[in-house]
Amino acid sequence: QQQVKQSPQSLIVQKGGISIINCAYENTAFDYFPWYQQFPGKGPALLIAIRPDVSEKKEGRFTISFNKSAKQFSLHIMDSQPGDSATYFCAASISFTYGGSQGNLIFGKGTKLSVKP
């Protein structure tokens, strides 16, 4: 119930292509879904986040698509660049309003993205 399942484990994309990473969850109490980006030797950093009252959120080349009925959400990276090569983690939590803490994130296992020039 507390798991967030992420796929694929690794992804190779050509420069300019679209990278798509998928996540699925079971716990319907989750109401905050961030994506974190991690470069080697660094800690994860928040990339983009969404709440389930919207189906899509876009920030620059990064878009989260959210399907509440299917309990799935995905990250799309348009026009992928070599500088996007990193490990991406989806996560979920229950916000304080609903008895949880937004900080208590349940992470997916990560996707290592390589963008080839």
What residues line the site for other proteins (CB under 8 A)? 2, 6, 9, 32, 34, 41-46, 49, 51, 89, 95-97, 101-110
Report, in Å, the least distance between residue 49 CB and other proteins.
5
Q: Name residue 7's amino acid.
A: S
Closest CA to 28 of 96, 98, 97, 75: 98
Report, in Å, the least distance between residue 103 CB and other proteins.
5
Is 17 or 94 the residue whose CB approaches other proteins more closely?
94
Report, in Å, the least distance between residue 9 CB and other proteins.
8
Report, in Å, the least distance between residue 43 CB and other proteins.
3
Q: Name residue 65's amino acid.
A: S
Is 17 or 27 the residue whose CB approaches other proteins more closely?
27
Is 14 or 101 the residue whose CB approaches other proteins more closely?
101
